[in-house]
Amino acid sequence: MSQQVINFGGGPAKLPEEVLLEVQQQLVHYADTGISVMELSHRSADYDKINNGAQRMLRELLNIPDNYKVLFLQGGGTGLFAAVALNLLSRTGTADYLVTGTWSSKAAAEAAKYGKVNLVLPKTNKFLEIPNSSTWNLDPNASYVYYCANETINGVEFHDIPDTKGVPLVCDMSSNFLSRPVDVSKLEKKKSYEGHIRKPCSQHQARIYVTSRVFEWIKRNGGVLQMEKNAIEKSNTIYSIIESSGGFYSCPVKKDSRSRMNVPFRIGGENGNEALEKEFLNGAQKLGMLQLKGHSFVIGHLLDQLSHFTAKYFFYFCEGGVCILHCVMQKSCLKYIYICYAGFI
Ligand code: PMP
């Protein structure tokens, strides 16, 4: 790892170093075209190759059935909140929303501008779990059921695809996409989308290019099944530290709804101790761990031996990345543990 900092940003998030280096090269001269990938016409055969390659790779990674279209769209996740409702809500005029955190709340609020939104789960502002599906208030007349597979801020993740009893299903996978296999055939496919969405236009192609490089990287590194294993291993490492910290760290989310992608936790008790949390974040910042606050935590490997280390720094080289571990010792007990995983996802 050549970088001295590690980016924990929830999105835009870390890219694999290999990909960054490849993109850096192609940014000046793409393949044998003599021009930058950013200068390629979005109508050129060279760009078609990039776009088709990205589509093919995604189909392969997720085993997407042939009767599903893949569309690369602009507008980010937030743009899609309106696009989903505008395209799909008019079928019956009502839609079911499983609100499990900040992002699905925003999606439901956006959809309410265009039709009726039925809240499938009891209204709350504390997002700590996914209630058992036997308690869900699903409307058989809904145009679709919407859920967010991983709530990036709240750390609440679905570990199964909801059974909607035949009602079309729409899923926001912004922050756990390609971190686990998904049975795409359970998700909505809607021909009417095609009529509403135009082909990519010019600002778009460099992003698709970078995305295609990340898809290739995932394939080279074992595909979605390996990404899932990594996510389980990394998140379990952090959750077990939290659980065995005697209450020093606490994660509010119920165990069966915990995210493998982002682990929210407080330091110094259930409601947190702001002074300790500030100290933790300052220490992390000094170690080059950036953007930890607000979102948390990507994670390391192999920490069961932790208690044997008294050194301030410990570098552990592992496949696909480097973990840097920093233990601050205070009065002979472990105070903070900083763990980074420099690989992607
Ligand atoms: N959904 C989820 C789960 C997200 O994490 C985010 C942002 N990270 C969004 C939607 C919104 O995406 P954007 O910032 O691209 O609008």
Is any atom of ligand 1 closer than 6 Å to the C-beta of 154?
no
Non-local (6+) Cβ contacts of 105 within 8 A are: 99
For the chain, residues classed under CATH 3.40.640.10 are: 25-221+322-340
Which residue's CA is the closest to the ligand 1 atom numbered 8? 11
Which residue out of 78, 150, 157, 178 has the highest number of ligand 1 atoms within 8 Å of its CB and is therefore the one to mutate? 78
The best mutation among 103, 151, 261, 291 to test binding of ligand 1, ranked by most ligand atoms within 8 Å of the C-beta, falls on 103
Pairing mode, strands 94-98 and 116-119: parallel
Q: Is the CB of 172 under 6 A from ligand 1?
A: yes
Q: Which atom of ligand 1 is nearest to the CA of 11?
A: 8
What is the pLDDT confidence band of residue 325, given thresholds at 50, 70 and 90? very low
Question: Does any ligand 1 atom lie closer than 6 A to the CB of residue 11?
Answer: yes
Q: How confident is the model at residue 4 (pLDDT cuts 50, 70, 90)?
A: low
Mean pLDDT, residues 109-120 taken together? 98
Number of residues written out for the chain: 345
Cα 155 to ligand 1 centre (Å)? 13
* Alpha carbon of 77 to ligand 1 centroid (Å): 5
Residue 284 has pLDDT above 90, yes or no: no
Among 60-64, 278-282, 284-288, 326-330, name the one with the lowest average pLDDT: 326-330
**Across 84-91, average pLDDT:** 95
Q: Which atom of ligand 1 is closest in space to residue 152's alpha carbon?
A: 5
Give the nearest ligand 1 atom to 10 CA.
Answer: 8
- The Å distance, Cα 103 to ligand 1 centre, comes to 7
Tell me what the mean pLDDT of segment 36-54 comes to: 92
Taking only Cα atoms into account, the Rg of the chain, rounded to an integer number of angstroms, comes to 22
In this structure, the residue with its CA closest to atom 4 of ligand 1 is: 174
**By alpha-carbon position, which residue is closest to atom 3 of ligand 1?**
174
Which residue, by CA, sits nearest to atom 2 of ligand 1? 174
| Average pLDDT score, the chain | 78
The residue whose C-alpha atom lies closest to atom 11 belonging to ligand 1 is 77
Per-residue model confidence as pLDDT tens digits over 218-258: 999 899 999 898 888 778 877 887 888 788 788 889 999 99
* pLDDT band at residue 312 using 50, 70 and 90 as cut-offs: very low
CA of 27 to the centre of ligand 1 (A): 27
> What pLDDT sits at residue 309?
30
Place of tokens 């850096």: 24
Q: Which range scores top for mean pLDDT: 54-58, 73-77, 232-236, 283-287? A: 54-58
Does the pLDDT value for residue 283 go beyond 80? no
The domain covering 224-297+306-316 belongs, at the CATH homologous superfamily level, to Aspartate Aminotransferase, domain 1 (3.90.1150.10)
**What's the Cα-to-Cα distance from 78 to each of 82, 105, 174, 210, 237, rounded to whole Å?**
7, 11, 10, 21, 32
**CATH 3.40.640.10, applies to 25-221+322-340:** yes
* Ligand 1 touching residue 9 (CB < 6 A): no
- Protein residue whose Cα sits closest to atom 5 of ligand 1: 152
- Tens-digit pLDDT profile for residues 161-201: 999 999 999 999 988 889 899 999 888 654 333 333 334 44
> Which among 134, 131, 115 has a CA at the least distance from the CA of 123?
131
Share of the chain above pLDDT 90, in %: 44
**Could you tell me which residues come within 8 angstroms of residue 249 by beta carbon, excluding any fewer than 6 positions away?**
241, 242, 265, 266, 267
Highest mean pLDDT among 9-18, 32-41, 87-96, 328-337: 87-96
Return the pLDDT at 294.
Answer: 55
Q: Compute the distance from residue 80 Cα to the ligand 1 centre, in Å.
A: 10
- The percentage of the chain sitting over the pLDDT mark of 70, rounded to a whole number, equals 75
Intervals of CATH 3.90.1150.10 along the chain: 224-297+306-316
Answer yes or no: is the C-beta of 78 below 6 A from any ligand 1 atom. Answer: yes
Contact 233, 300 (CB under 8 A): no
Phi, psi of 271 (to 5 degrees): -95, 5
